[in-house]
Homo-oligomer: A and B are copies of this chain.
Amino acid sequence: MPNPDPTLRDQFLSVSTATLTTALFKRNLRNMCLYGVRPLDPATARMAGPAFTLRYIPAREDLDDLSVFADPRHPQRHAVETIPPGAVMVIDSRGDDHAASAGGILVRRMMVRGAAGIVTDGGLRDSHEIAAMAIPAFCRAPSAPTNLIRHHAVDIDVPIGCGGVAVFPGDWVVGDAEGVVVVPREMAAEVAAEAVAMTAFESWVETEVARGRSIVGLYPPNDATRAEFERFVSEHGGG
């Protein structure tokens, strides 16, 4: 996996997950926002990068004791040491937050290694410490119990489900204070460009509404409003 395209990354970092869901909805994609997955710290949740995936199945008491982590090939440990810079670790935890998908030490290691973020539909432990790190982290809930109580890591970099959404390795994963949206890699460039344009328009609309203007004819815009916005852009430089 090469380093993610910096232009695309910057575009995704400049738009909201809300705007992305609308751009995807126009393409009949209605299920790209991870349900129930929230940032540990909404204030520092802006995140964008291609997905690097890790798959868990339910733990089995005879297979999953603490000794397994001594093996560097253990998928969870291997994933943490091999995730490419700029990628987002996305973990399929089957929506189970009775135990942590990862904890502070592993997240710190990923941060040091240059990962763009971590996303799980399970729990995160040491969540208070992770929230203070310089890496966006998203989960269903803080969850103290150790990973092996619920999870058995099996696969790296395979298609997974997370938060009820299909995630293929390389899909763009974008996060903000509201949550996480997946953009299929095949349409990442066009969706990013459209979302940037939508954001410019919506910013202008926000200003107009704040000034007391009605949304009728403004949002969505009629032809007159569209022309007005084009004039505004040509005069002020857009977004």
Contact = CB atoms under 8 A, between A and B. Distances in A.
A42 B210 contact: no
Number of copies: 6
Interface string A213-239: 011110110100000000000000000
A81 B112 contact: no
Q: Which of A72, A125, A141, A155 has the most CB of B within 10 A?
A: A125
Interface in A79-115: 80-81, 94-96, 98, 100, 103-106, 108-109, 112
Interface of A: 16-18, 20-22, 25-31, 33, 35-36, 38, 42, 57-63, 66, 69-70, 72, 77, 80-81, 94-96, 98, 100, 103-106, 108-109, 112, 125-128, 141-146, 148-149, 152, 154-155, 158-161, 164-167, 176-179, 181, 184, 202, 205-206, 209-210, 212, 214-217, 219-220, 222
Given A18-B146, A21-B149, A108-B206, 19 more contacts: A18-B126, A25-B149, A29-B60, A38-B142, A42-B128, A57-B161, A57-B167, A58-B161, A58-B164, A58-B166, A77-B215, A81-B215, A105-B206, A105-B219, A106-B215, A112-B210, A127-B178, A142-B177, A152-B166
